[in-house]
Each structure stands twice: as C-alpha cells, then as structure tokens.
Amino acid sequence: MQILLNFSTFHILSDGLYYALCVILSLAVLLGLHFMSRVKTAKLGNQVSALAIALGIIITLVKKDILPLWAIYPGMVAGLIIGLRVASKVKMIEMPQLVALLNGIGGAASAIVASFAFLSLHGGSDIFGRLTSLVAVSVGMVTLSGSVVAAGKLHKVLTQKPVILRHHQLYSTVLFFILPLLIVVSLVGNDAGGVIYLSSVVFVSLAFGLVFAIRVGGADMPITISLLNSLSGVAAAIAGFAVTDILLVSIGAIVGASGLFLTRIMCRAMNRSLPDILLGRTSLQGSSVVTPAGQRADGAIEGEQGEGIQVGDPGFATDDETSGPVDVRELISRAKKVIIVPGYGMALAHAQHLVKQLAGKLKSNGADVRYAIHPVAGRMPGHMDVLLIEAGVPFEEVYEMDDINDDFRDADLTIVVGANDVLNPSARNAEGTPIYGMPILNVDECSNVLIFNYDLQPGYSGVENPLYSRKKGVTIIQGDASVTLAELLSNL
C-alpha cells in the first residue's frame, strides 16, 4: 500500500520514459485505426486501440501522481460497470445511437476537464491556458448537444426529418459569431466573472449544437456522426493543451483527424458538401417527391408503359405483365453469380440473419455470393458491415462499392434488401435532385434484380427510383423483410 502512495517519490516514470510511452501508445492507436479499416481485422483494431487507451490512463495516473486520490476509484469502477453493461445489452440495431451518445459523452468529459482548468487559471497571466480551456469547453458542449439530438433522431424519439425553425440560418449565424466573442471577452474580464463567462460559453455552445443538429435529416446521420466523432477528438486534444497533457493532445488529435478524414470520404460518397448537410439543404421537406425528368409521377418512363412492378407471393412474383409470373425459386436456383445489397431497411427489419440464411441456400446450389456495401448505407459509418459480421457473414464476402461495382453487369442475380437511394439510377442524370451526382451501386446493370423493400415509396431523398419501373428483369416483394425473407426461405 505504501508503494502505491509514493509512486512519484521513486520517480517510476521519468520525463523521458513518459514521453516515449506516449509516442508508443499514440502509434498503437494509429495501428488500431489501420486494422479497423479492414473488416477482417476490425475487431483486433478495436482491441489494440482500447488497450492503448487503458494503458494511457494508467501511466497518466502514475505520472501525474493521481493514484493516491482514492476518491476517483468509485467513479472509475462505476464507469467500467456501466460501460460493460451497455456493451452487453445494446442491440446491433441500436449501435448508431450508442455511438452518437459516446461521442457526446466524450465531448462532455473534455468540457468538464477544461472547465476546471479555466476556473483555476482565470484572472492569471496564462492567456494560452485560458483560451484553450474555453475553446475545449465550446467544442465539447457543441459535441454533447449535437450528439444527443443525433441519438434522439436515430432512436426515433425525435423526428428523423430536418427541423427548420423560422430564421434558422440567422440563429446559427448569430450563435456561431457570439461564441468567439464570448471567449475573447472572458480573456480580458476580471476574475470575479469567471463562472459567468464559463456559463455563457456553455449555454451558447449547447444552443449552437442543438440548432445545427436538428436540421440534419436521418439519411445524413452517417456523416453527422462521423463529424461529431471528430469533434469529440478535437475537444479532447484542445483540453490536453489546457491541462498540459501531451498524451491527451496526441490521441485526441488522432481521433479528430481520422474523423474528419472519414467525414470527407463520406461526403464524397454522397457527392455532398458538409455545409449543405449541416444546413439541411440536401433532403426534401415533408413528403414531397421528386420525379426525374423523363419520368412520370407514377414511376413509369415516358413513352413506355411502366409494367415492371408487380408484387405477390414470395414464391411467385411478377416481372412483366406480358411475361406473367416469375418463379423466384427458379430464379434463385439458376443463379451462379449473386450479389446481395443490404440497406437500412434490413437493419430496421432485423433481417441480417435471414439474409445470411438465404446466402447459405444460394451457396448450397453452387452459387458464388458476395455482398456490396455502399459507404453511406445505414445510419452510421460501417453500419451494414457491423450487422453482417454480427450475423456471421464471412469477412471475405463483404465488398466496398468501388471493389464490386463493375461486377453487377456480369452477375446472374442481385438481391436488394431494404436499400433505395444508394442504387437509384436517377443519381446519374436527374439534375436538381438531392441525389444527383452521388455515386451509386450499379444494380441496374444486372440482368435480374430481386428487391425486398417495405414499399415502393422513394427513399429518404424523395426521388423516384426508375429501377422499380424497369420492364424486365426486376422482381419486387413488398413488406417487412424479416417476414418476406422468412416466407421465401420456407418456400425454398
């Protein structure tokens, strides 16, 4: 016990050793991120990064001589228990909102640390320390309120549609410029106003996070969550400057930079700019529907009779009115090259295990089965990958869009489960629509497409999908995917 209370006396961690360990642990976090970039090694990457963070906590406690402060241990134990319980109880379908909440908690933690740093420095000569403290508080509180709103939208406690207030842009602009003004005023203010300045920054930051998050639509949540994850890292890094903790600066910067990089990749995948997403300019309001030029509102292509949509028994669906019913069982039994495209509808229906079973049936017939994942499918980065791996889909069968997009034309069958906008051909030529220019999965190039969607309504973008009205080669089975897939499997 005496040894624990006198770590600093024996200089267990010299400055040189401490800095060396900080470099090693930072590199370990980077290595973990590298592993997480591949589905096959993602679990290992998560474990490596988590271990590095745990070791970082330990060496910080030792170096800063915090170990003797026994009051911190009940909180650490409580946090550990809560984290383990949440990890064991949360369902895969709830993972996006959990990630959003964790981003918010990270931002709040950084803001709390920075708040105490500011109060201890206010009125002193350390301008840099006070400045970084307030900036960390600001970024952390924006992350907290934005993440809570994002989690609420994902959990359907709040509407998933963009919420636009009267004079919304004015509110955003005013709050955005008030924040730095408050920070500057606090730097020159007297010591007695420290709590008032800090409280003002907290309030305005929370309001700004709320105002920017409520106008983001549900389909744009993957990008928003990626951005909030980045902001949580930025808040931690700035808080590290405030408390002069090099390890916090390093790891926070890694999280912030990787999050921004991922956000940029996802914006490119949707052909959208981040400001447009944050300002709610990428999705339609209400229930309005965009019909691309050359297409009627009923979904049929002008000059042709739209005959391609007819839905019925999972064993028999209609491909074309002139050709009669299509035996889905025969279609599946003949297919030797199959691509499965999962979407958010699969997540909502909890149908990933049924999709895996269907793939097993196809393989038993000698088919080669692969999965095509769009970068922004679902409600968080990697959402479809997480669900498929949880269902036991082999890593090597899961392909990113760029790696499989050219193979649709040679596939015998493409099976779509709960996806719409990410395969909407209108993205190529429907100028003026929210999805114009967005890279899509080339499902329409496949000769036979089997679609399991809840209904024929447009996706979140509100743009009609002309694939639904293709005259031949498209079979659509409407309804909850967990029900329709189960019926199909029983018929097979």
Burial of 181 (0-12, 13-18, 19+ CB in 10 A): exposed
Burial of 85 (0-12, 13-18, 19+ CB in 10 A): exposed
Half-sphere exposure of 468 (CA within 13 A, CB side): 26
Out of 220, 319, 320, 421, the active site residue is 421
CA-CA distances (angstroms) from residue 285 to 129, 151, 290, 345, 370? 44, 21, 11, 21, 36
Reply yes or no on whether 421 is catalytic.
Answer: yes
Residue 54 — φ and ψ, nearest 5°?
-60, -45
Which residues are catalytic, by number?
Answer: 421
